[in-house]
C-alpha cells in the first residue's frame, strides 16, 4: 500500500507538537535525566530515580548519587 504525500504530511504535523515539547527549554532537565538513565542502563549500573538529579543551578546538568 503506497502512502500518499498528503498522508505523510499529516503524520508529520501530528508529530510536531510532541517534538517541540520534548525539545523545549523547560524540558531540558527531563532530557538530561533520560540521557543519564540510558547511559547507566547501558553500563549495567543499578540505580533509582532519586539518585538522578537535574539541579537548576549551573554548571552541573545532572548529578548522580
The CA distance from 37 to 54, in Å, is: 12
Short-list 59, 57, 52, CA closest to 31: 52
What's 57's DSSP letter? S
Q: What is the pLDDT of residues 6-31, one digit of tens each?
A: 766 665 656 566 667 767 777 788 88
Q: Which residues pair with 53 in a beta bridge?
A: 63
> For the chain, which residues make up each domain, given as ranges?
25-65
Average pLDDT, the chain: 77
Q: Which residue has the cell 535525566?
A: 33
Q: What is the pTM of this model?
A: 0.58
State in Å, rounded, how far the first CA of the chain is from the last one. 51
Amino acid at each position: 500500500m503506497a502512502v500518499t504525500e498528503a498522508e505523510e504530511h499529516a503524520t508529520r504535523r501530528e508529530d510536531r507538537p510532541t517534538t517541540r515539547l520534548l525539545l523545549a527549554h523547560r524540558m531540558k532537565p527531563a532530557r538530561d535525566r533520560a540521557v543519564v538513565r540510558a547511559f547507566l542502563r547501558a553500563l549495567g549500573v543499578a540505580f533509582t530515580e532519586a539518585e538522578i538529579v537535574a539541579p537548576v543551578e549551573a554548571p552541573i546538568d545532572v548529578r548522580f548519587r
